[in-house]
Structures are given as structure tokens and as C-alpha cells.
Amino acid sequence: MSHAAARAIVAAALVAVASAHARAQETAPPQADRLAGNTLSGILYLPREGAKGETLDRVVFQAFLRGNGTALVRRWVPAEDRYSPPGEQRWSLSGSTLCLDFPPDENVPRLCIEAHVWGPRIAGNTTTGQFAMLDGDIEPGDTIVSAR
């Protein structure tokens, strides 16, 4: 293969990679658009109050994330084998940091999670403050209201 042919192949490969990267960035909606108007069904793992770092509480919840920054949030109550009544809360997204408030009586602090969304999946963990880890799914629409 001649030197000119090799350069042409390398140039063509670089153009293909650059255009594929540009298409991927054009087609991937911003994370807020992928979350707003949908229900996040997830599990949070939080350190148990008073435990010495070896025990985690599991918080199962659903949050319908509205486009205006409000959320309808409910939590699974294992002792009662049901979800708590949904409550109005706030949520926000800055870059990939998802913050979500829980009702005060739920004993779950406001959490800000470095979230990663791919397809219907969401996962992440806190990078500052109290440790928490999130694992869950994003479902289209408000599955909380339709489930009542």
C-alpha cells in the first residue's frame, strides 16, 4: 500500500469517527429531558442511623418527576406492605447531579446523586455529604397516579 493510500484511509477513518461522535451527541437528549415527565422507580441504599458503617437501610421509592421541578414521591413501607401516600416534593438536575427531596416524615434526607442514565436504567451515588447509592428504572409517564 502506498503512503498516500494509507493517509487517505486514516483520514477517512478519522472523519467517520468524528461524524459518528457528532451524531451521537445530537441524538442523545439532555438528561433532564430523559427524566422530566417520567417516573423513577428506585432503591436507595443509605447508612443505617447509628450503625458503624456496616449496615445499610434500603429505601424503595417512586418519584414522578414533573418538568416544573416538582415531584410526586412515595416510599414503600415494608411493615404495612404498601406505598406511603404520595407527597409533593422538589427535584432538580444540574449536569448529571440529580437532587430529590423526600417527605419530612420519611426520615430520608434530601439527596443529591451523581446519576447515570442509560436506556431505562438509572444508577449513581453521592459524591459529597451523606453516602447514598441509587439503582432504578425510568418509566414513561406518571405510573404513580395510574397505579392508584
- Please indicate whether residue 127 or residue 76 has the higher confidence score (pLDDT): 76
Measured between alpha carbons, how far is 69 from 90 in angstroms, rounded to an integer?
A: 6
What digits encode the pLDDT tens for the residues 62-90?
999 999 999 999 999 999 999 999 999 99
Q: Domains (ranges, CATH) in the chain?
A: 31-147 (2.40.128)
What digits encode the pLDDT tens for the residues 19-76?
444 444 445 456 777 899 999 999 999 887 766 667 888 999 999 999 999 999 999 9
| Whether the predicted pLDDT of 115 surpasses 90 | yes
Mean pLDDT taken over the chain:
80
